[in-house]
Amino acid sequence: MTTHDAVPVERSASSAFAGTRPLNVGVVGATGNVGTIMLRVLAERGVPIASVRAFASARSAGSTVACAGRDITVEDLASASPEGLDVALFS
């Protein structure tokens, strides 16, 4: 793992994602209404996720958001590196 706090999320893949390798996902705007819903939908839909990183403004950095029953520390979008992400979702 790199210097960021990527949180592994263990979920069983639904049939729609069968055979798909788990992804390292970043959610930008994770502390807002849409970002919170994105995190919830990722968990509910059984998207194969290896890890989730949450990004937001400096004001929200250091706070936590929930995904699949795990707390994820929010990173400052302006200074965080996207290194290691396969997919980034922007809200």
- Cα–Cα distance, 16 to 18 (Å, whole number): 6
Q: Give the H/E segment covering residue 44.
A: helix 33-44
Looking at residue 13, its pLDDT comes to 45
pLDDT tens-place values along the chain, 91 residues long: 445 666 665 545 455 667 789 999 999 999 999 999 999 999 999 889 999 999 999 999 999 999 988 999 999 999 999 999 999 999 9
The predicted model scores a pTM of 0.80
Q: Distance between terminal CA atoms of the chain?
A: 25
Contacts of 9 (CB under 8 A, 6+ apart): 42, 43, 49, 50, 51, 52, 67, 68, 70
